[in-house]
Chain A
Amino acid sequence: MYSHLLKSSKTLLKACATGVKALAQPAKSNFFQSATLRDSSMCLVVRGFSSGAGAGKKTQYVEEGEEYVEPKRGVIENTLINASVIIERTPVCFPDPEPWMEQLSEFKHHQQLREANPLPKDVVAGLRSKFRDDERVETFVPNPRITEDDLKNDRKSLYRALPEPLYLIVKVRQTEDKTLPREIWRFPTAEWREGETIRSAAERTIFYHAGEALQYYMLGNAPICHHVYTPSAELKKEFPNATQVKVGYVSYCATCFRTALQGLRPNFACTFLSKRSHHACTCTYACMFSRSARLPI
């Protein structure tokens, strides 16, 4: 299915050797380098990790001028392996609160009011007059949480569904199974090749689909989940010993750069999740990864 991929990758690798080198060394965190991208309307942040199971194995990419030797598709114990990537745009603003959350918040507020020591009346009056006279408070209108792209249902835009995560899917031509439609939607997927880790296969997929311009935050070296299916007749011809195909899903976080968004939509400052929980979800996922990993990494 992805025989074209390496042909394209070969061209890409030769043409973009610099970018490949950058991809091949994801160990340094360059979170703050994204400050140079402030002019973009929306930026993503690159972060890599040197720790973890895949850290010891460096992805092998060609140097400039060096001939690229196409590695074979790997088969482990009669299993063909694919690496699929789930690229996620994290929520940009807080989700709408549930009714019970609003009730709880109101209850807590009243409880605090009852228990708090009252301020002197002149202080309260002063504060009220101060905020009443503050033009910024009077004129501040936050941007709507439903954007134009939401209304247009523009699914190519990231500026939609702000309170929810979005996932990248692609429509590709498939020749692997003639019983299936020729064009299918799926997460970006590539074949695992000999000598690669699942992580490096996933990174190759990202590089193929999005180039070096897409910057991401990796959530773990191991897949978060996998599914298994029977190889088609075409695959069995090519790999007679293969009895199953296993697709491992590796998760990536494409995080919006807060400063860039603030610059673009200043009124959204109030609704941003400051450093929204990609740190927290990293921990959560990392724990899950270690338990749910089934594929060699």
Chain B
Amino acid sequence: MHALYLAGKFDLEEDSDVLDYAWVRKSELKEYFTTPLTAPMIELAERSLYY
């Protein structure tokens, strides 16, 4: 994922480690952060990201 940025659209490079991306609301984070490693991020977002 590099270089081209237009209206939120990224170009994903073929050999990139980044497989996908998304722009999500705070309320949508829990759909993505489902592993034990990333689940705490939901609570952190609730606590730390305002409005």
Contact = CB atoms under 8 A, between A and B. Distances in A.
Interface of A: 2, 4-5, 8, 12, 40-42, 44, 86, 88-89, 91, 155-161, 164-173, 177, 180-181, 183-187, 208-214, 224-225, 227, 229, 249, 251, 281, 284, 288, 292
Contacts of A168: 21-23
Given A158-B7, A169-B32, 20 more contacts: A4-B17, A8-B16, A42-B7, A157-B9, A157-B23, A167-B23, A167-B45, A169-B21, A172-B18, A173-B19, A180-B37, A184-B35, A184-B37, A184-B38, A185-B34, A186-B38, A212-B3, A213-B4, A225-B48, A227-B44
A180 B39 CA distance: 12
Contact of B19 (A8, A171, A251, A284): A171
B49 A167 contact: yes
Given A86-B49, A169-B29, A156 B18 contact: no
22 contacts: A4-B17, A40-B6, A42-B6, A42-B8, A89-B23, A155-B28, A156-B22, A156-B23, A161-B25, A165-B51, A167-B24, A167-B49, A168-B23, A171-B19, A181-B35, A184-B35, A185-B38, A208-B2, A210-B5, A213-B4, A229-B37, A249-B44
A169 B35 contact: no
B47 A225 contact: yes
Contacts of A211: 2-5
Contacts of B29: 167, 169
Nearest to A164: B25
A170 B18 contact: yes
Nearest to B9: A156
A156 B21 contact: yes
Given A209-B1, A213-B3, A227-B44, A88 B21 contact: no
B20 interface: yes
A85 to B, nearest CB: 12
A41 B6 CA distance: 7
